[in-house]
Amino acid sequence: MIYEHKETNDILKWFEQINQIPRCSGNEEAIRHWLINWAQENHFEVKNDKIGNLLIEVPASSDYENAPIVIIQGHLDMVCEKTPDSNHDFTQDAIKLVKEGEWLTADKTSLGADNGIAIALAMTLALDRTISHPPLELLFTVDEETGLIGAGALEAGFFKGRTLINIDSEDEGCFMIGCAGGINTHLSVPLKWADVPNDYQLMKINAGGMKGGHSGIDINAQRANAIKILIQILHQTQVELRLANLSGGTAHNAIPRDSEALVFVPMNKIQIVKTLVQTVEKTLKAEYQNTDPNLFIKVNEVNGFNQAVTSEDTQKLIDVLMVLPHGVAANSQDIEGLVETSNNLALISIDEGQLKVLTSQRSSIDSKIDALSHRIEAVARLVGGKAYSDTRYPAWQPNMDSSLLAKSLDAYKRWFAKTPTVRAIHAGLECGIIGDKVPGMDMISIGPTIKDPHSPDEKIHIGSIGMIWDFMVALLKALK
């Protein structure tokens, strides 16, 4: 049953306006200027830093002027994912909202509730003169989805508050007080190229229809990785192949849903390959029937290209991608049900004559991130390639003695007459970086219920938005 709430409509009206503005990572200028204009129209102090992070200051309500400043924090960018048949242009098209019962989703694209709903909630809080709250700093960062870039660039003095409510978690009724750290690893492997004999035919093999999802939150759901599926098919052909092109994945923090290979096949082995693809597809559809029911593999004869990777290097490429890990590496020994360490085989391409690979590792233990990253780097070196790791961000270690957590638990129990869960998350949150920059920062992460973020299946539970609103109002009143 939907939790009825009159402010939900106000929040969703702002969210709909936010979704009119393209805001993929790295393209936040328009949403930033829109928020600056909104702040100035409502006489709020506003500033931004060199990288584009935005801070809007909201005065305290009556009798809360001397209360400690509270930071309401989210990010401006979104992960831009769409289905293969979508013509959506993320550089200029608005996200089209679709209501499905108790849920709000989008038309063949990611919804952007991660993290547009945080912006909408913060705006609604700032404009509501009926609620009691301390001075607020609305802190909106850039490039969160590409590696927490904006948070990492925050400079001392940009904000004053030492109590922070991050609205970037995705399970109402759950307080996040810790998160994984992470690092990205880039691999490049040189490939030898040569002309293709006349008795070879170019074929396109597509692996798609997979569910994908968030590479942290969904990594333990055992969903298919389209890159791994494609490479499994190429490996099983047992035919002397010549790769002409290879692509798969969309972002470091999204489990790949689609991948494609252009590969030359000996003409007398074409039917063997087609038959094998049909057999493997049947097997995989049964294997992933619960997690990826729409999985498909297609193979077609095409034209184009007169050069390809040599047979030897094609096999080397396939072997590299077969060996590279993907998925859960270890579960937490301290918190039941929490993934401790994982990696996402995120992106592959053939570019400038080389195989290019991006993997993304996460862990709540720094040494485990290093060990897994070094293992992946070693794979590239074994085949004469190069590897380096970057975009590192720290884990956020839980603090069960947090004053903000205690007040949050009390406010939630008083309002809803039930106890929320408290846990850490196997995903990167900006709290980790902000807490690392400002020791002693008291933080909590919350949010309405969002399913399948970082994918075209992303949806937000409408009723949970009102619940988050009521909790926020109750909590801010208690922070005097």
Chain segment 366-389, per-residue pLDDT in tens: 999 999 999 999 999 999 999 999
Which tokens sit at 178? 């810790």
CB 242, CB 264: distance < 8 Å: yes
Catalytic residue among 28, 114, 143, 144: 144
DSSP run (H or E) holding 422: strand 421-425
Sign for the CA dihedral angle at 53, 26, 433, 468 comes to positive
Please, what's the b/e burial string for 79-110 (b: 16 or more CB within 10 A of its CB; e: otherwise)? bbbbbeeeebebeeeebebeeeeebbbbebbb
Q: What is the pLDDT of residues 186-202, one digit of tens each?
A: 999 999 999 999 999 99
Give the DSSP letter of residue 219. G
Q: What is the pLDDT of residues 310-338, one digit of tens each?
A: 999 999 999 999 999 999 999 998 888 89
Check if 6-180+395-478 and 183-393 are the same fold: no
Sheet of strand 103-106, all strands in order from the earlier edge strand to the far edge: 97-100, 103-106, 459-461, 450-451
Place of tokens 């990253």: 373
β-pair partners for 193: 309
Complete DSSP assignment for 300-334: EE----SEEE-HHHHHHHHHHHHHS--EEEEE-SS
Q: Give residue 251's pLDDT.
A: 92
Q: How far apart (Å, rounded) are the C-alpha atoms in residues 368 and 311?
A: 36
Q: Give residue 337's pLDDT.
A: 87
Burial label for 6, CB within 10 Å (0-12, 13-18, 19+), is exposed
Task: Return the percentage of the chain with pLDDT > 90, whole number.
Answer: 95
Q: What is the pLDDT of residues 230-253, one digit of tens each?
A: 999 999 998 999 999 999 999 999
Complete DSSP assignment for 27-67: --HHHHHHHHHHHHHTT-EEEE-TT--EEEEEPPPTT-TTS
Q: What is the pLDDT confidence band of residue 1, given thresholds at 50, 70 and 90?
A: very low
Q: How far apart (Å, rounded) are the C-alpha atoms in residues 356 and 386?
A: 10
Q: Give residue 406's pLDDT.
A: 98
Mean pLDDT of 129-143: 97
Q: What is the pLDDT confidence band of residue 227, given thresholds at 50, 70 and 90?
A: very high
CB 259, CB 210: distance < 8 Å: no
Q: Which of 2-11, 107-116, 410-419 has the lowest mean pLDDT?
A: 2-11
Mean pLDDT of 204-211: 97
Q: Give residue 111's pLDDT.
A: 98
Q: Which of 72-81, 154-163, 300-309, 470-479 has the lowest mean pLDDT?
A: 300-309
366 in active site? no
pLDDT at residue 436 greater than cutoff 50? yes
77 in active site? yes
Catalytic residue among 28, 57, 77, 452: 77
What residues does each domain of the chain span? Answer: 6-180+395-478, 183-393
Mean pLDDT of 45-61: 97
Q: Give residue 5's pLDDT.
A: 82
Mean pLDDT of 22-27: 96
Q: What is the pLDDT of residues 262-311, one digit of tens each?
A: 999 999 999 999 999 999 999 999 999 999 999 999 999 999 888 999 99
Q: Which SS3 state, helix, strand or coil, does residue 105 take?
A: strand
Enter the CATH code of domain 183-393: 3.30.70.360
What class is the 6-180+395-478 domain?
alpha beta
Q: Where are the beta strands (DSSP E) in 142-266?
A: 163-166, 174-179, 181-190, 193-195, 200-208, 242-248, 259-266
Burial label for 476, CB within 10 Å (0-12, 13-18, 19+), is buried
pLDDT at residue 180 greater than cutoff 50? yes
Q: Give residue 336's pLDDT.
A: 84
Task: State the Cα angle at 389 between 383 and 394, rounded to 5°.
Answer: 150
Alpha helices in 355-461 (DSSP H): 366-382, 403-416, 430-437
